[in-house]
Amino acid sequence: MDGLLGRRNETSRLQILLDDARRSRGGAVLVRGEPGIGKSALMAHLAESASGFLTMRASGAEFETELPYSALHQLCLPVLAHLDVLPAPHRKALRIAFGMETGTPDLFLASAATLGLLLEHDQPLLCLIDDAQWLDHASARALAFVARRVTAERVAMVFAAREGLHELDHLPKVDVQPLSEPEARALLAREIRAPLDERVRDRVLAEARGNPLALLELARTAGLTGMAGGFDLPAPAAAERSFRARLEGLSPQVRLLLIVAAAEPVGDPGLLWRAAALLGVEETAAQDVPLVEFGTRVRFVHPLARSAVYRAATESQRRRAHSALALVSDPLADPDRVAWHRARASVGPDEDVAAALAESASRAQARGGVAAAAAFLERSAALTLEPGLRIERVLAAVEAKMSAGDFDAAAELLSTLEPDDPRVDLLRGQISFARFRGGNLPTDHLLSAAAKLTDKEPADARTIYVDAIEMGMQTGSLATVLEAARTAPPAPDLPRSADIILDGMVALADRGHQAAAELLRPVVADSGDQAWTRWPTLGFLLAVELWDADAAHDIAVRCTASGRESGSFHMLPIGLAMLATVTAYTGDFGAAKEMISEEEAIAEATGAAPIVYPRLHLAALHGRREEAEELFSRVGPNMTLSVQYATAVLNNGLADYPAAMHAAAQAVATGDLGVVGQALPELVEAAVRCGHEQTARSALAALTERTSAGGQPWGLGIEAYARALVYEDEDAYQQAISLLDSTTMAIYCGRAHLIYGEWLRRQGRRRDARTELRHAHELLSGLGAEAFAARAANELRATGEHARGRSSSASDILTVQEVHIARLVSDGATSKEVAAKLFLSPRTVDAHLRNIFRKLAITSRRQLRDLPAIR
């Protein structure tokens, strides 16, 4: 393109992005570089090159980072007329986000709605987002979401930023390099027509260091400043000094006008002139004003120019500008900007302004702007004189910063409070847990908070101990927490669920499962208890520990429903992961895959790590060694225990009993809640098959303690078949089958028939063995538990009967996501509806459907609906 010098590498990479987008292989890149290096010029070049594209633009603004969805609104303005074509929930979420309706926006519904809105056109689309380092938090997350979802679309997205942005770390980077010396000389010669002294030219080139903006600004002001000094300053600072130099010689009125323009980020000429009039600035001052362009919006020629003007002003001048802007802004239509300008104009503590900022924080939070709420609250606290109220506002600001994911800023703000406040300890623990990668235990802070509350607020202290127990299970510090919890104040005469849970957990550590179960069974069985909304992971693991399959299922269902209703993309993945695990053991692998797919879609959309343990369980039950071990090898060290348990299940299914015994013994040795009980029957079976009688008997005794305490058919049935394995007791085999037949845990029921059939064959009772093995094979193969089904088939052959081959299930050849899409479509969902559920674009869903049709050798949705249930 004419006007660009050099930049061959950068322009070629951006051109590839455009070419791919034309071919429905869209993508996004992050263009990085120091201020003035030429990022905006590259984006302008790209826009001119994008023939046939619809180009949409947005730009972050330094003074708008506190206003949620402001940049996203700016980008979507040209296509807002298409809002009505979106599904109703998406349409509403976006209208709320943009202030067109009242309510609390769902960030990810708004993000999915943005994707749908941007795709409602016939042209390929180019989205240019400049100054991305100043995007407000909500816009940054929404645009990052969209950037992840355009790989099958005719969409190219280019973000330009001075430095990396956390939300955009996943994007390919295009680093804009300084111009070479020949390129810099050529640019200088082309743009500066007036003769330059060769010594001045060399000094300009030396100080600019290949930065185009610095190069031109220094050259333009060389006559004014004489280029005195500054040779060791970086180019951005030199460019800003150049902008400041151009302020010299301007009249006080013109400089004041520029300061007001710098303090008013919206670029509204009406606001600017009303504020200027209050300050006595006449409109004639706008004639030949440098650095600013006056039009339908007031724009600075470069963000550095705005920054230079604002920083060059005195504190008094800035306060005057903000005060005038506060007075002329509409307190009804834009109360938050009024409050923010008043805060900037304040000299010292001012409760009226502080209260207004606190109200702005509430409004921002209601619109999903947690980062904005944090900023308002932090400034509100700084302007609050009354100590108690200041503490409350600082604590609220810390919580808002934590919600926005800014844990470093939250920790720094928290350090301004006295450490003897238990709420400070509690928040420190939560921050430490969010950043936990080993090392200092976050539970220590919670235990400190609980200890401080023991005398004054014993009920709160007990609740925090339960918080610490759930956190301790996830950080490996449960034993330490339970040791401290022994000192908790006694429960009241009418104990709450939290009190019972705490006493039950201490009883479990001190007196064993029977004592704990007497306390915990009623609370765990009540899946509707509010306690399990606060501590869903603890509730689920206790249900598993008590072998209460119904409670585990119901707690998982409630957690999932609560996550959906609240729009919590923290709670919903936890619920889906728990529900997928329970569902896999009931034998509905298709439904489990659907839940895993949804959880993974949320993880990808939010940039979080997926919860992997349901996939480990499902892979173990499927029994495909190569596939399972490849998955196990990719799991991080924090999931070692789940891998050990899953390895034991996999190898028992494959009849590799030494490997199963080794893995199960490792899982049992940890003593972890919810896993040891599940691993014990695997250890019993493997040890019996390997001839390790004492190991099998010890594991059976530990299993019996747990299952008898729970008193549930699931646990009692498993204990019965483990006892039958150890003592070769036929009554125990039959008892196991009777108990497990009454539960929903079909996998365990199939395994009970299998081991009974194996025992009958070894007893020489072939006819009886065939009956049990045939039933086991039909059940297990129908569920998709291939390894256990193969064991049954091998045993049947040993009796002289061949098992019927299992017809392939659709899920055998489809990915987890394809199974989910196929199930949704077979239920009648449209591509748009599927896309909305999985945070995809309709075009991506259609691409998946084409793969599904090819794999299943069908050609239409109708044929998909006519297939048997996808498992």
Could you report the per-residue pLDDT of 629-645, keeping only the tens digit for each?
A: 999 988 876 677 789 99
Q: Is the pLDDT of residue 565 over 80?
A: no
Q: Is the pLDDT of residue 647 over 80?
A: yes
Kindly state the average pLDDT of the residues 387-397: 91
Q: What is the pLDDT of residue 1?
A: 40
- Looking at the structure, do residues 162 and 190 belong to the same domain, yes or no? no
- Looking at the structure, do residues 146 and 43 belong to the same domain, yes or no? yes
- Give the pLDDT band of residue 713 (cuts 50, 70, 90): very high
Beta carbons within 8 Å of 96's beta carbon, 6+ residues apart: 102, 103, 104, 105, 110, 367
Q: What is the pLDDT of residue 233?
A: 37
- Looking at the structure, do residues 188 and 276 belong to the same domain, yes or no? no
Q: Is the pLDDT of residue 507 over 90?
A: yes
Least confident among 9-18, 730-739, 834-843, 854-863: 834-843
Least confident among 144-148, 411-415, 636-640, 816-820: 636-640
Asked whether the beta carbons of 826 and 865 are under 8 A apart, the reply is yes
Edge-to-edge strands, sheet with 125-130? 54-59, 125-130, 155-161, 27-32, 173-175
Asked whether the beta carbons of 204 and 229 are under 8 A apart, the reply is no
- The residues facing 27 across adjacent strands are 156
* Top-ranked range on mean pLDDT: pick from 192-206, 251-265, 700-714: 700-714
- Give the pLDDT band of residue 228 (cuts 50, 70, 90): very low
Task: Classify residue 334: in a domain, yes or no.
Answer: yes
Q: Which residue has the higher pLDDT, 37 or 505?
A: 505
Which of 591, 608, 625 is the C-terminal boundary of a domain?
608
Collapse the DSSP code of 116 into the 3-class scheme (helix H, G, I; strand E, B; otherwise coil) and give the result: helix
Query: Which is it for strands 299-300 and 173-175: parallel, antiparallel or unpaired?
Result: unpaired
Number of domains in the chain: 5
Residue % of the chain over a pLDDT of 90: 41
Q: What is the pLDDT of residue 654?
A: 96
CB atoms within 10 A of CB 178: 20
- Give the pLDDT band of residue 828 (cuts 50, 70, 90): confident
Task: Classify residue 838: in a domain, yes or no.
Answer: yes
Measured CA to CA, the distance from residue 756 to residue 101 in angstroms comes to 64
Residue type present at position 283: E
Collapse the DSSP code of 341 into the 3-class scheme (helix H, G, I; strand E, B; otherwise coil) and give the result: helix
Task: Classify residue 133: in a domain, yes or no.
Answer: yes
Task: Report phi then psi at 35, rounded to 5.
Answer: -55, 135
- Residue 340: Cβ-neighbour burial (10 angstroms; 0-12, 13-18, 19+): buried
Which of 133, 160, 175 is the C-terminal boundary of a domain?
175
296-312 tens-digit pLDDT: 778 787 767 787 888 88
- Looking at the structure, do residues 69 and 137 belong to the same domain, yes or no? yes
pTM: 0.73
359-384 tens-digit pLDDT: 888 877 776 566 677 888 888 998 99
Task: Report phi then psi at 703, rounded to 5.
Answer: -65, -40
Measured CA to CA, the distance from residue 664 to residue 687 in angstroms comes to 10
Does an H or E element contain 400, and which? helix 387-403
- Looking at the structure, do residues 284 and 320 belong to the same domain, yes or no? yes
Query: Which is it for strands 173-175 and 27-32: parallel, antiparallel or unpaired?
Result: parallel
Q: What is the pLDDT of residue 290?
A: 78
Task: Classify residue 31: in a domain, yes or no.
Answer: yes
Q: What is the pLDDT of residue 865?
A: 76
Q: Is the pLDDT of residue 767 over 70?
A: yes
Task: Classify residue 415: in a domain, yes or no.
Answer: yes
Q: How many helices (H) and strands (E) does the chain have?
A: 47, 7
Task: Classify residue 817: in a domain, yes or no.
Answer: yes
Which of 175, 202, 236 is the C-terminal boundary of a domain?
175
Range of 193's domain?
181-245
189-201 tens-digit pLDDT: 777 666 666 666 6
DSSP output for 670-695: T--TTTHHHHHHHHHHHHHHHT-HHH
Residue type present at position 793: A
Q: Which residues of 182-196 are buried (b: 16+ CB within 10 A; e: fewer)?
A: ebbbebbeeebeeeb
- Residue 723: Cβ-neighbour burial (10 angstroms; 0-12, 13-18, 19+): buried
Extract the tokens encoding 702.
Answer: 């530990």
Nearest to 38 by CA among 310, 308, 302, 306: 302
DSSP conformation class of 33: -
DSSP conformation class of 314: -
Task: Classify residue 40: in a domain, yes or no.
Answer: yes
Beta carbons within 8 Å of 308's beta carbon, 6+ residues apart: 240, 241, 243, 244, 247, 291
Q: Which residue has the higher pLDDT, 93 or 583?
A: 583
- Looking at the structure, do residues 26 and 126 belong to the same domain, yes or no? yes
Nearest to 4 by CA among 61, 57, 50, 49: 49
Task: Report phi then psi at 156, rounded to 5.
Answer: -120, 130
Kindly state the average pLDDT of the residues 661-690: 92
- Looking at the structure, do residues 12 and 111 belong to the same domain, yes or no? yes
Measured CA to CA, the distance from residue 351 to residue 381 in angstroms comes to 10
- Looking at the structure, do residues 199 and 168 belong to the same domain, yes or no? no
Average per-residue pLDDT for the chain: 85
DSSP conformation class of 87: -
Q: Is the pLDDT of residue 2 over 50?
A: no
Q: What is the pLDDT of residue 563?
A: 81
Q: What is the pLDDT of residue 225?
A: 40
- Looking at the structure, do residues 422 and 289 belong to the same domain, yes or no? yes
Task: Report phi then psi at 333, rounded to 5.
Answer: -80, -30
Kindly state the average pLDDT of the residues 641-656: 94
580-590 tens-digit pLDDT: 999 999 998 98
- Looking at the structure, do residues 517 and 594 belong to the same domain, yes or no? yes
Asked whether the beta carbons of 836 and 112 are under 8 A apart, the reply is yes
- Looking at the structure, do residues 117 and 214 belong to the same domain, yes or no? no
Q: Is the pLDDT of residue 23 over 60?
A: yes
Task: Classify residue 402: in a domain, yes or no.
Answer: yes
- Looking at the structure, do residues 88 and 32 belong to the same domain, yes or no? yes
Q: Is the pLDDT of residue 266 over 80?
A: no
Asked whether the beta carbons of 617 and 643 are under 8 A apart, the reply is no
What is the CATH classification number for the domain harbouring 820?
1.10.10.10
- Give the pLDDT band of residue 871 (cuts 50, 70, 90): very low
Residue % of the chain over a pLDDT of 70: 89
